């Protein structure tokens, strides 16, 4: 069955004098910059999406009259609050918490919480805006949101993290719920943090509302595969991209930036499908292991012992560690940026192309600068934007919500099969939408237009409340 947006046309509601689509997009972007000064990441994310949507506005002019773009670019709700907590020495600290509930046309707000010193309102808005389209592509009933704090969990004891999470949830709890807003984890927020947050939510509400948070432990409402989901889903998406060229990951050399949850399980799935990841990184440096990254060792260092990547060479002496190294200088067939936003510059992209890279798939959110994206596309590199390629994490969060609602827990194979099917469907939507709008092979335009049209239909159906 076709899932092209064009198979469900947005009907004309009357005769209007429509402004030019390009003019609309430029005006909307200028207004976003004016209303959100200094939020450069949000500006970048909006510009990237709007650049694709000229094609959609030309085909469906009524969307201009209904001001769908303007409504999408303005969050439905923005919450900023103080988080006061006490460290193990009795010293009081004050951080800032955020939750931006961007769009609920398709379902309850859904998006992670990020605890990192770089967090400010612009970062949260960029992530929440991206989440709208990413969630739409999954086909599940989820709106878009994001939240977090400038709190840094690195170097903190479990008790300090617990006290911070409890203070954070003491304000956040009044804004979330399984039918309202369902946060999950992100950078700095794993199962430990979700556990502390859920415990405080339960204490404050006197309800065991499993569906209010995802990324929970498997023993208390979490889903199998949730830990692996973003990385696995990323590789499943690349598998589909390569199939369109009659290829596979078998025998391909790969590099994966990062050494966190997304990176680890990207590496694991690449190895399972016959590829070889020879390098990964953390904020301190890069490890190159020509024999292939040792995944069990990486898991032990990063997930169990919470150590730095430089310690990898203690156990794999043939590997080379480069402090503050640049992973994108290492020749590869496939690059997986899985660390953070804007980590691949134009110069990095040019280096990857010169060294023979043929596929770039984003495990992080917006890890490639606009110049880098342009270079990849002009060079004919298969480029998969994060809103499509890394949607496996939120897709499995949606599956966790389904299990919570029915008081069930599916086995690993069942969830993994559902995840793979979702990623195949996302690839199909993106690929065929790009073709239908006259830009075949352009995964950026395909992802943006497909996600946008699904949200736009729901907003139109609900009138001005959409």
Instruction: Please name every residue paired with 93 in a beta bridge, in sequence order, or none if there are none.
Output: 85
Phi, psi of 189, deg, nearest 5: -130, 105
- Cβ(100)–Cβ(144) under 8 Å? no
Instruction: Please name every residue paired with 79 in a beta bridge, in sequence order, or none if there are none.
Output: 99
Does 146 participate in catalysis according to the annotation? yes
Phi, psi of 84, deg, nearest 5: -105, 130
- Cβ(131)–Cβ(394) under 8 Å? yes
- If we measure between CA atoms, which residue out of 460, 456, 450 comes closest to residue 5? 450
Phi, psi of 90, deg, nearest 5: 85, 5
Instruction: Please name every residue paired with 110 in a beta bridge, in sequence order, or none if there are none.
Output: 182
Sheet holding 382-384, edge to edge: 320-323, 285-288, 276-282, 253-256, 334-336, 359-361, 382-384
Catalytic residue among 110, 125, 134, 146: 146
Burial class of residue 206 in the structure, from the number of CB atoms within 10 Å of its CB (0-12 exposed, 13-18 middle, 19+ buried): exposed
The CA distance from 199 to 166, in Å, is 8
DSSP structure class, residue 360: E
Tokens 């808005």, residue located: 125
Instruction: Please name every residue paired with 279 in a beta bridge, in sequence order, or none if there are none.
Output: 255, 288
Residues with catalytic function: 146
């Amino acid at each position: 069955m076709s899932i092209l947006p064009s198979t469900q046309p947005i009907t004309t509601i009357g005769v209007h004098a429509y402004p030019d689509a390009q003019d609309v997009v430029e005006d909307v972007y200028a207004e976003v910059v004016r209303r959100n000064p200094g939020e450069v990441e949000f500006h970048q994310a909006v510009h990237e999406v709007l650049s694709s949507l000229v094609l959609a506005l030309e085909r469906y002019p009524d969307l201009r009259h209904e001001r769908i773009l303007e409504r999408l670019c303005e969050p439905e709700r923005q919450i900023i609050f103080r988080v006061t907590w006490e460290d193990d020495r009795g010293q009081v600290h004050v951080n800032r918490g955020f939750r931006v509930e961007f769009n609920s046309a398709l379902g309850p707000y859904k998006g992670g919480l990020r605890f990192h010193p770089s967090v400010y309102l612009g970062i949260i808005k960029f992530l929440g805006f991206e989440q709208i389209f990413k969630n739409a592509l999954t086909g599940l009933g989820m709106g878009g949101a994001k939240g977090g704090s400038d709190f840094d969990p690195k170097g903190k004891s479990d008790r300090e993290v617990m006290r911070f999470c409890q203070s954070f949830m003491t304000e956040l709890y009044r804004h979330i719920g399984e039918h309202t807003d369902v946060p999950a984890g992100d950078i700095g927020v794993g199962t430990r943090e979700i556990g502390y947050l859920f415990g405080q939510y339960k204490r404050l509400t006197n309800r065991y509302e499993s569906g209010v948070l995802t990324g929970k432990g498997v023993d208390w409402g979490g889903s199998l595969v949730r830990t692996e989901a973003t990385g696995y889903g990323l590789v499943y998406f690349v598998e589909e991209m390569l199939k369109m060229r009659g290829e596979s990951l078998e025998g391909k050399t790969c590099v994966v930036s990062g050494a966190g949850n997304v990176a680890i399980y990207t590496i694991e799935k690449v190895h399972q499908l016959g590829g070889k990841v020879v390098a990964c990184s953390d904020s301190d440096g890069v490890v190159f292991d020509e024999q292939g990254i040792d995944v069990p060792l990486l898991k032990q260092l990063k997930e169990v012992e919470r150590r730095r990547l430089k310690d990898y060479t203690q156990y794999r002496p043939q590997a080379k560690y480069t402090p503050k190294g640049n992973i994108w200088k290492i020749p590869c067939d496939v690059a997986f940026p899985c660390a953070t936003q804007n980590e691949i510059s134009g110069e990095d992209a040019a280096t990857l192309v010169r060294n023979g890279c043929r596929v770039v798939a984003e495990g992080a959110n917006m890890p490639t600068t606009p110049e880098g994206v342009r270079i990849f596309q002009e060079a004919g590199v298969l480029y998969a934007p994060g809103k499509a390629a890394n949607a496996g994490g939120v897709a499995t969060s949606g599956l966790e919500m389904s299990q919570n609602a029915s008081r069930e827990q599916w086995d690993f194979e069942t969830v993994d099969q559902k995840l793979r099917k979702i990623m195949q469907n996302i690839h199909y939507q993106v690929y065929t939408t790009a073709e239908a709008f006259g830009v075949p092979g352009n995964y950026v335009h395909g992802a943006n237009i497909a996600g946008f049209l699904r949200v736009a239909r729901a907003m139109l159906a609900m009138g001005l409340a959409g």
